[in-house]
Structure 1
Amino acid sequence: MNVKTKWSENAKSYNELLLLAVLGIFCGLFSGLLMAFFYAVVYVPMRYFMGTDFDAFESLAVEWRVFFSIFACLLLAVVFTLLPPRLHKVGVPFVVERLNYHDGNLPIWNGVVQFFTAAIGLMGGLSIGKEGPAVHMGATLGSYLATKAKLPQYGVETLLACGIAGAISAVFQTPLAGVLFVFEVIFLEYRQRYVLPVLLSSVTATLVSHYLIGPIDIFNVGAMVLAPLSLDLFLACSVLVVFVLGLSVLFFQIQKQLWRFSALSVWWRFSVVAMVSSTAAVYLPEALGSGFLPLNHLLSGDLIVYSLLLLILVKTVLTALTIGLGIPGGMIGPTFIIGGLAGVQIAFTFGEGVSDAALFSLLGMAAMMAACFQAPLTALVAIIEMTHSFTAIVPALFVIVLSCLLIRVIFHQESIFVERLNFIGMSSSISPFQRFLRHHTIKPVAEPILALSSHASLEQIKDLASSVVDYVAYEKDNEWYLVKRLAVLETLQLLNEGPQPWLTVFHDKISMDIFSALDSTNIKLIQEPNSLEAMLVWFQRTGLNEVLVPLSDTSYRLVSRHRLDQFLLKSD
């Protein structure tokens, strides 16, 4: 019997994994379709205006560049003025907040707002990326599918991870980096339990994106050659790390100072963004948008007629100001560009030539992402998948590790998303105890019971003798009551002494009126919580020690605080 029970439990856990894997595939499919649609909404109209690359804002006339920047900011101000405040929350910090404080339940309308506001900002040439909106939309999709499938809490978190990984993979066509992004940036830990469904979602989304959009050649490194692993190379890498650290600290500190003005009207905040963006549109249009075109031009050997260092600083300040003042957009794309340009600047400074500029641009991208988001493996894998080259692994690991280490040890700076949540008084992660509770349903602490009618036939009462359950539950006047099985059987024995007052005829059968025959305990009936954490919160809030939970129309379970405490102590 023990072997059979264990086999059934194992089979059930494998069936749950299969269900999550199938849902992960669907999540990846829908994430890929959603990102392809987002891509079309943003870039098809811009291709019409530009006629070339969809991020080539410098190819537009000055008046058009200024018009797009100002119009986008004003339109966003109108949208956020008309929307209720609860719909203003979008982006990665909102996703983490809903994950940690609201069981991963993301409202659909916030996702819709994220879709259209991000599209407006990107079409206006504002210095934002599409990755933050992709994370929000993918997470919303995963949350919706989990709600429809009525999954427990760990299932909700799994599909949330599937949606995020699928969205990131569809945007960059980097399936493994999308998976690592979920664990390093969103969950801040690696969770083996989620890996298989998330991988399936990520691969599916990449295939959908590749089929609908075509291959996304973000970065051309055809001319890159690896310099010998010499002291000069690592000296240049060390200088690059120092440069990137300065840029990341500047990027963070500008945003941190601007967060203080989040209570101001969107008209004031977005007007400042419009003014600064339109100025950049006139004098330095390469700083607009989220594309890699300026970087690709540099690597192609095109000459620049302005200071590269000036472009790096303007891009850093413009992106930090745009995001910091509340424009709904992502930061990953712009930080990649800033890091890549910083790498080219270092390559030119050391006089290594254009061939090494490609290598250092990769290193700068990896270092900047690692420093800003504390995601070392994501940064490494992202540049490998985007460039289809393994040439830069050793120096990339050097700059990534050094950047992550120094930014935390010297500047005490966490991920920009973690810092944002800390600023508004929220935690970016949950305790190990909460995580343990969320990863378990009530089944380990649920005790089976028998549900009877309040007027049970004598045949049903006699059948209790062959049962092994401890309790019997019944409903009377929309209230549920609990009695011990042995107490019911002992009361039945009183028939040996003669007719009893609790005998009644119900549906033409001689029955026992259990309510009249025994002293019953009134017990609450609640819907099945999605995790042990929700069950513990219910016990703490109500002060009750027992509750009845229906698992189906005819199956009920008794959950007690005592059994929950025993389970926690046993699990240590």
Structure 2
Amino acid sequence: MKGLNLKEKWLATAKSYDDLFKLSLLGGLCGLVCGLVMAFFYMVMYVPARYFIEMEFDSFTSLPLITRMTLPVLACFLLALLFHLIPKAYHKVGVPYVVERLTYHGGHLPVWNGLVQFVSAVVGLLGGLSMGKEGPAVHLGATLGSVLAVRTKLTQYGVETMLACGVAGAIAAIFQTPLAGVLFAFEVIFLEYRQRFVLPVLLSSVVATFVSHYLIGPMNAFDIDALHHVTLSLELLAACLLLVVMIVLLVALFFHIQKVTWRFSQVSVWWRFAIVALLTALAAAYLPESLGIGYASLSRLLAGEVFVYALLVLILVKTVLTAVTIGLGIPGGMIGPAFVIGGLAGVFVALVFGVEAGNIALFALLGMAAMMAASFQAPLTALVAIIEMTQSSASIVPALFVIVLSCLLLRVVFHQESIFVERLKFMGMASSISPFRRHLRQHKVSSVSDAALLLPVKIPLEQVKDLASSVVNYVAFEADGCWYWVHRSHVLDALQNLDFGPQPWLGFDQGVGMMDLRLAVASEAILQIDEPSSLEALLDWFQETRQNDVLIRLPNATYCVVSKHHLDHFLLKHDD
């Protein structure tokens, strides 16, 4: 018996490694698909911009005045028409929607919402609206991971792993920053670090980066040269403190404007998008550098071109325009604009302190990192992103300083969480599940089940005798469309009654003695279901049906029995 227990433990351990290998393969596949989809996303945006609008993507300052004022108006009209025609169920898109589906729907994302996100993001970005492509990319990546998990019939743990793979793959493909993609999935979507997810998610992120690099080429969004050395000084410390104050105030303004605009979510989409069109058209006329994501404008500034009379005006206009655009429901992202706003703030501080031209890029990086970290409460993601983009670790110390202080002040002084968390709070939703529910999601039914042997209603007596050597404790059978179960020992006890003479359950089929289980044992009726995705789903089933036991059909056509009492005992045993 001891050897049997060791064998069972070895098989259980081997099964867990098989699951890890399967999830890693699927993670690599998810990264491949994410890389291909992100490359297609780029192509759909860049080809029309170059060949129809006759500009480099995101370089709206090169367009004639009439063209750049017409584009946002046309984009808002098309988006309003799209959202007017499609059902309201498909209106929800973006990172907050991904977190909502993870928290309340087990991470299952509808494909149609992803298609709406793709189309609307392309229209908005080509129209010059102040929004980013990274948020839509996260939604698309999460949808791909969710669909892959559903197609392969993974458990809840597998679904969440694939969702993390999709998010990490999307961010990695968009920025070509694999580690930042992994950290983004944990810090922004799951709001916690999950070690069990790491290997499949890392593989997805690396594969997506490779595909993106191969199809799109290396990305130098900001044209920032690698930093080889940063001298720590009191002047640098003072400049960093000013940058922190500026970033915190900008993030607070960004949050406040969005919270005001969220109150108008029930107003007609035509009115809301008309306001965005009007404000963007005015910005196109007087400050075209604020259009689009803003990468091109920041790159030109770092190259030494002075294209605005007052850099501070551009920072404020970009902050307000992005907050209004996203807050009024335009389905775009905030990550790219947040990077740009932070980078512009960093350049402004560098100019205030008279920093040498060669070191202005450092302050742009610090501002980008601090703005992203404070807006999304993702400090490690922001830090690793700038290290991977510059391929230099020289800015780690000042970057950590501005990141930590910015996140801390925003939480302590303004009591603000991530903008995505704040959005869900405004909608009356939680941004994460309770530790109890999370614990249930991480375990399969096998943690609380007892194997059950499926038998026909009428069974040969020789097969009944074989039950004596079986290690399975329960027997299940189907009769008249209903399922029944009984302990194996009761069937063997019924067989022993033959010593006292013929029994009512005894019959013969072609000379073979048969036992009718319906007559031989006092069996109990039991409901039969397919394997739930997790113990959370099983607990919900028990609460809805008020049953005490259930017969579960596993994917390999075997059966097991789970009792509510056994599940309660498991929860008490693992209660932290």
- Structure 1 length normalisation: TM-score? 0.98
Displacement of 1:566 in angstroms is 1.7
Displacement of 1:451 in angstroms is 1.1
Displacement of 1:291 in angstroms is 3.6
Give matches, 1:91-102, under 5 Å.
91-102=94-105
Work out which of the residue numbers 469, 475, 480 in structure 2 matches 1:477. 480
What corresponds to 1:278 in structure 2? 281
Q: Distance in 2 between matches of 1:463 and 1:225?
A: 75
SS of 1:526's partner is: strand
Residues 49 and 55, structure 2, Cα contact 8 Å, conserved in 1? no
Give matches, 1:530-541, under 5 Å.
530-541=533-544
Task: Pick which of 179-188 and 491-500 moved more.
Answer: 491-500
Q: Distance in 1 between matches of 2:510 and 2:527?
A: 28
Provide, for residues 346-372 of structure 1, a one-character-per-residue CA deviation record: whole Å limited to 9, x for no partner: 111111132221111111101101110
Change (3 A) 1:507 1:486: same
% identical aligned pairs: 63
Q: Distance in 2 between matches of 1:229 and 1:391?
A: 11
What corresponds to 1:512 in structure 2? 515
SS of 2:184's partner is: helix
Q: Distance in 2 between matches of 1:537 and 1:166?
A: 32
> Is 1:90–2:83 an aligned residue pair?
no
Q: Distance in 2 between matches of 1:344 and 1:457?
A: 85
Displacement of 1:222 in angstroms is 2.4
Give matches, 1:162-241, under 5 Å.
162-222=165-225, 226-241=229-244
Residues 344 and 357, structure 1, Cα contact 8 Å, conserved in 2? yes
What corresponds to 1:249 in structure 2? 252
Work out which of the residue numbers 487, 491, 505 in structure 2 matches 1:502. 505
Task: Pick which of 41-50 and 137-146 moved more.
Answer: 41-50
Work out which of the residue numbers 426, 429, 442 in structure 1 matches 2:429. 426
Residues 30 and 166, structure 2, Cα contact 8 Å, conserved in 1? yes
Displacement of 1:516 in angstroms is 2.2
Work out which of the residue numbers 306, 309, 318 in structure 2 matches 1:306. 309
Residues 226 and 392, structure 2, Cα contact 8 Å, conserved in 1? no
Q: Distance in 1 between matches of 2:472 and 2:542?
A: 23
Change (3 A) 1:391 1:51: farther
Provide, for residues 501-522 of structure 1, a one-character-per-residue CA deviation record: whole Å limited to 9, x for no partner: 2222347633111112322200
Change (3 A) 1:494 1:35: same
What corresponds to 2:292 in structure 1? 289
Q: Distance in 2 between matches of 1:545 and 1:147?
A: 29
Provide, for residues 370-425 of structure 1, a one-character-per-residue CA deviation record: whole Å limited to 9, x for no partner: 11010001001111111222221111110000001000000000000000011101
Task: Pick which of 459-468 and 533-542 moved more.
Answer: 459-468
> Is 1:159–2:166 an aligned residue pair?
no
What corresponds to 1:335 in structure 2? 338
What corresponds to 2:392 in structure 1? 389
Gaps of 5+ in 2: none
Q: Distance in 1 between matches of 2:271 and 2:168?
A: 35
Q: Distance in 2 between matches of 1:387 and 1:49?
A: 33
Provide, for residues 266-289 of structure 1, a one-character-per-residue CA deviation record: whole Å limited to 9, x for no partner: 001000000001111111111001
Letter in 2 for 1:26: L
Displacement of 1:552 in angstroms is 4.5
Residues 474 and 487, structure 2, Cα contact 8 Å, conserved in 1? yes
Provide, for residues 411-440 of structure 1, a one-character-per-residue CA deviation record: whole Å limited to 9, x for no partner: 000000000011101111111111111000
SS of 2:191's partner is: coil
Q: Distance in 2 between matches of 1:12 and 1:470?
A: 22
Give matches, 1:332-411, under 5 Å.
332-411=335-414
What corresponds to 1:446 in structure 2? 449
Change (3 A) 1:508 1:166: farther
Task: Pick which of 246-255 and 347-356 moved more.
Answer: 347-356
Give matches, 1:95-134, under 5 Å.
95-134=98-137
Displacement of 1:490 in angstroms is 1.8
Residues 131 and 325, structure 2, Cα contact 8 Å, conserved in 1? yes
Task: Pick which of 362-371 and 297-306 moved more.
Answer: 297-306
Residues 455 and 506, structure 1, Cα contact 8 Å, conserved in 2? no
Displacement of 1:568 in angstroms is 1.9
Q: Distance in 2 between matches of 1:175 and 1:164?
A: 11
What corresponds to 1:493 in structure 2? 496
What corresponds to 1:53 in structure 2? 56
Aligned length: 572
Displacement of 1:571 in angstroms is 2.1
Q: Distance in 1 between matches of 2:543 and 2:39?
A: 46
Gaps of 5+ in 1: none
Q: Distance in 1 between matches of 2:227 and 2:453?
A: 72
Task: Pick which of 217-226 and 450-459 moved more.
Answer: 217-226
Q: Distance in 1 between matches of 2:62 and 2:235?
A: 38
- Structure 2 length normalisation: TM-score? 0.97
Change (3 A) 1:569 1:397: same
Q: Distance in 2 between matches of 1:392 and 1:554?
A: 57
Letter in 2 for 1:393: I
Q: Distance in 2 between matches of 1:110 and 1:541?
A: 29
Task: Pick which of 522-531 and 305-314 moved more.
Answer: 305-314
Letter in 1 for 2:117: Q
Letter in 2 for 1:410: V
Displacement of 1:230 in angstroms is 1.0
Letter in 2 for 1:439: Q
What corresponds to 1:37 in structure 2? 40
Change (3 A) 1:232 1:498: same
Q: Distance in 2 between matches of 1:33 and 1:536?
A: 39
What corresponds to 2:75 in structure 1? 72
Residues 482 and 525, structure 2, Cα contact 8 Å, conserved in 1? yes
Q: Distance in 1 between matches of 2:37 and 2:129?
A: 22
Displacement of 1:464 in angstroms is 1.6
Residues 188 and 429, structure 1, Cα contact 8 Å, conserved in 2? yes
Displacement of 1:26 in angstroms is 0.2
Q: Distance in 2 between matches of 1:149 and 1:88?
A: 27
Letter in 1 for 2:423: R
SS of 1:134's partner is: helix
Provide, for residues 526-548 of structure 1, a one-character-per-residue CA deviation record: whole Å limited to 9, x for no partner: 11001011111111111111000
What corresponds to 1:138 in structure 2? 141
Change (3 A) 1:478 1:10: same
Residues 343 and 361, structure 1, Cα contact 8 Å, conserved in 2? yes
Letter in 2 for 1:192: Q
Residues 240 and 402, structure 2, Cα contact 8 Å, conserved in 1? yes
Work out which of the residue numbers 546, 552, 565 in structure 2 matches 1:562. 565
What corresponds to 1:526 in structure 2? 529
SS of 2:530's partner is: coil
Letter in 2 for 1:213: I
Change (3 A) 1:53 1:291: farther
> Is 1:546–2:549 an aligned residue pair?
yes
Change (3 A) 1:456 1:86: same
Task: Pick which of 61-70 and 512-521 moved more.
Answer: 512-521
Provide, for residues 543-563 of structure 1, a one-character-per-residue CA deviation record: whole Å limited to 9, x for no partner: 111000011465210001111
Displacement of 1:468 in angstroms is 3.0
Change (3 A) 1:439 1:223: closer
Q: Distance in 2 between matches of 1:100 and 1:261?
A: 25
Displacement of 1:41 in angstroms is 0.6
SS of 1:450's partner is: strand
What corresponds to 2:465 in structure 1? 462
What corresponds to 2:264 in structure 1? 261
Displacement of 1:171 in angstroms is 0.5
